[in-house]
């Protein structure tokens, strides 16, 4: 079945991960015309990413099937938000410029729910630009997309439960995971593990992710190689070890994707996420937020927040309030993650050498940035943050390394085709898009 792409809806949801899917399903019974925008080929977000030989969990399949049953929900996959459009009327929450593979247009909505998720925090160290170095979550995504890692030697490093999840994915794909270097201490790991009894599903999952190569109080020092990763140097306590390997996956936690929300005028709250009230409304009327963009805390928390935002956006505040108890339960889990997996910024800030690139898009080295006083000063004198990623990678790194607070763009969220910007100012012709 095909349906035409709408240019106006009652509720526009940005992001089709767990939070976005839950929001759409919660709002659907109201009869609102709902559009869900996501740049991936299918709903699920990063945690429920589809791909060759990927066995989606039952909950993910249930949500996809439920979305397909609602005729008032339109899934715009393979579509991304590239900027802000002109507001069509006083009743609109905002209008966004959307871009698909074939065209761009301005989409108007009475209400917005931002479920933009989070991205990995990638920090520079000598050799981190060598082919074979990825984020921990990036490695998972590549494997799910069909990357063959069978027989390859892999080292995973950084901090947080994502390391063990990435190692587990690699092992199941036939890789030889030599080491999981976790920055936090054994004491903190043990305390965190003991607290998992409060979240039984997590407690059952934990033993399946344990890896014999796990080492605490350890972090990456350097990736070695000429044209490809050949080895890695790790610091563990007072000991330095070197391991020959073909891949290094480093993850230093997650950074909430708040750029769109900030462009729309939404304020930031705790842990650098979008600030929301008890009904998931941001500081801008008519705009709600849910999931990792409010501060990372896991898919279970995202599902609850998404449902709350969907109910609230549809005008059912009573149903949204009824979810406060499960939200508090998963907020406590998020608190435990932040408490027991802190980022040791002082150790990581000492890793880059003067010639280590911080901005990979524009080849801006650490030495060129040390003399600068702020993010704006760096952009004016170097081109840092002006490449394809628009500062999403180097901006977060600069915050850790130099204490800078990068500001989002005012109108465009990411590079867009000229045709998209031209079409955004006019009423588009309808095109057919697949219905999931």
Q: Per residue in 106-139, pLDDT tens? A: 999 999 999 999 999 999 999 999 999 999 999 9
pLDDT at 315 over 70: yes
Among 258-267, 301-310, 389-398, the range scoring the smallest mean pLDDT is 389-398
For 361-406, how does the pLDDT look when each residue is reduced to its tens digit (9 = 90+)?
Answer: 999 999 999 999 999 999 999 999 888 888 889 999 999 999 998 8
For 166-200, how does the pLDDT look when each residue is reduced to its tens digit (9 = 90+)?
Answer: 999 999 999 999 999 999 999 999 999 999 999 99
Neighbours of 175 (CB within 10 A): 23
> Do residues 139 and 169 make contact, with C-beta atoms less than 8 angstroms apart?
yes
Fold of 7-119+255-336+422-434: FAD/NAD(P)-binding domain (3.50.50)
Please give, one letter per residue, the 3-state secondary structure of the chain: CEEECCCEEEEEEECCCHHHHHHHHHHHHHCCCEEEECCCCCCCCCCCCCCCCCCCCHHHHHHHHHHHHCCCEEEECCCEEEEECCCCCCCCCEEEEEECCCCEEEEEEEEEEECCCEEECCCCCCCCCCCCEEEHHHHHHHHHCCCCCCCCEEEEEECCCHHHHHHHHHHHCCCEEEEEEECCCHHHHHHHHHHHHHCHHHHHHHHHHCCCCEECCEEEEEEECCCCCCEEEEEECCEEEEEECCEEEEECCEEECCHHHHHCCCCECHHHCECCCCCCECCCCCEEECHHHHCCCCHHHHHHHHHHHHHHHCCCHHHHHCCHHHHHHHHHHHHHHHHHCCCCHHHHHCCCCCCCEEECCCCEEHHHHHCCCCHHHHHHHCCCCCCCCCCHHHHHHHHHHHCCCCCCCCCECCCCCHHHHHHCCCCCCCCEEECC
Question: What's the full length of the chain, in residues?
Answer: 436
Q: What is the percent of the chain with per-residue pLDDT over 70, rounded to a whole number?
A: 95
Output the six-digit token pair for 88.
């069509």
Tell me how far the alpha carbon of residue 396 is from its chain's centroid.
13
For 235-257, how does the pLDDT look when each residue is reduced to its tens digit (9 = 90+)?
Answer: 998 999 999 999 999 999 999 99
Euclidean distance between the first and final Cα of the chain, in Å?
Answer: 8
Predicted local distance difference test score (pLDDT) of residue 2: 36
Predicted local distance difference test score (pLDDT) of residue 431: 40
Predicted local distance difference test score (pLDDT) of residue 272: 87
pLDDT at 152 over 70: yes
pLDDT average, residue stretch 312-323: 97
Predicted local distance difference test score (pLDDT) of residue 87: 67
Q: For the whole model, what pTM was predicted?
A: 0.91
Q: What is the percent of the chain with per-residue pLDDT over 90, rounded to a whole number?
A: 76
pLDDT at 3 over 50: no
CA 89 to CA 261: how far, in whole Å?
A: 20
Output the six-digit token pair for 127.
């050799």
Output the six-digit token pair for 148.
């063959």
Where does CATH 3.50.50.60 sit in the chain? 7-119+255-336+422-434, 124-251
Res. 210 pLDDT band, cuts 50 70 90: confident
pLDDT at 435 over 60: no
Better-scored residue on pLDDT, 288 or 47: 288
Print burial letters for 135-160: b (CB count within 10 Å at least 16), e (below 16). Answer: bbbbbbbbbbeebebeebbbbbbbbb
List C-alpha distances in Å: 265 to 132, 161, 240, 270.
Answer: 38, 32, 47, 16
pLDDT average, residue stretch 218-232: 96
For 132-142, how does the pLDDT look when each residue is reduced to its tens digit (9 = 90+)?
Answer: 999 999 999 99
pLDDT at 430 over 50: no
- Architecture per CATH, domain 124-251, reads as 3-Layer(bba) Sandwich (3.50)
Predicted local distance difference test score (pLDDT) of residue 276: 97
């Amino acid at each position: 079945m095909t349906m035409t792409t709408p240019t106006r809806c009652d509720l526009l949801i940005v992001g089709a991960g767990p939070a976005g899917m839950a929001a759409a399903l919660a709002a659907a019974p109201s009869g609102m015309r709902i559009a869900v925008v996501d740049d991936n080929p299918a709903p699920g977000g990063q945690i429920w990413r589809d791909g060759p030989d990927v066995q989606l969990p039952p909950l993910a399949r249930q949500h996809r099937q439920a979305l397909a049953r609602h005729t008032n929900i339109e899934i715009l996959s393979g579509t991304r938000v590239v900027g802000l459009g002109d507001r069509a009327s006083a009743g609109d929450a905002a209008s966004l410029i959307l871009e698909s593979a074939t065209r761009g247009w301005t989409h108007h909505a009475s209400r917005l729910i931002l479920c933009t998720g989070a991205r990995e925090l990638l920090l520079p160290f000598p050799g981190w630009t060598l082919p074979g170095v990825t984020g921990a979550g990036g490695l998972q995504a590549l494997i799910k997309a069909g990357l063959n890692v069978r027989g390859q030697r892999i080292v995973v490093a950084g901090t947080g439960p994502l390391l063990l999840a990435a190692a587990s994915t690699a092992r199941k794909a036939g890789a030889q995971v030599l080491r999981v270097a976790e920055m936090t201490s054994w004491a903190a790991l043990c305390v965190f593990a003991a607290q998992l009894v409060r979240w039984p599903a997590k407690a059952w999952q934990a033993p399946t992710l344990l890896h014999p190569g796990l080492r605490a109080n350890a972090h990456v020092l350097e990736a070695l190689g000429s044209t490809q990763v050949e080895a890695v140097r790790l610091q563990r306590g007072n000991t330095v070890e070197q391991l020959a390997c073909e891949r290094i996956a480093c993850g230093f936690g997650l950074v909430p994707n708040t750029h769109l929300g900030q462009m729309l005028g939404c304020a930031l709250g705790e842990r650098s996420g979008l600030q929301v009230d008890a009904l998931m409304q941001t500081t801008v009327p008519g705009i709600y937020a849910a999931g990792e963009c409010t501060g990372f805390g896991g898919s279970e928390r995202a599902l609850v927040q998404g449902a709350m935002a969907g109910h609230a956006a549809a005008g059912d505040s009573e149903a949204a309030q009824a979810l406060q108890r499960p939200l508090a339960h998963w907020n406590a889990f998020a608190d435990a993650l932040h408490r027991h997996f802190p980022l040791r910024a002082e150790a990581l800030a000492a890793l880059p050498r003067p010639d280590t690139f911080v901005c990979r898009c524009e080849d801006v080295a650490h030495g060129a940035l040390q003399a600068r006083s702020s993010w704006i000063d760096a952009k004016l004198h170097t081109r840092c943050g002006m490449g394809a990623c628009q500062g999403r990678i180097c901006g977060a790194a600069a915050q850790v390394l130099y204490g800078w607070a990068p500001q989002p763009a005012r109108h465009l969220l990411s590079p867009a085709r000229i045709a998209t910007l031209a079409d955004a100012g006019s009423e588009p012709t309808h095109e057919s898009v697949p219905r999931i």
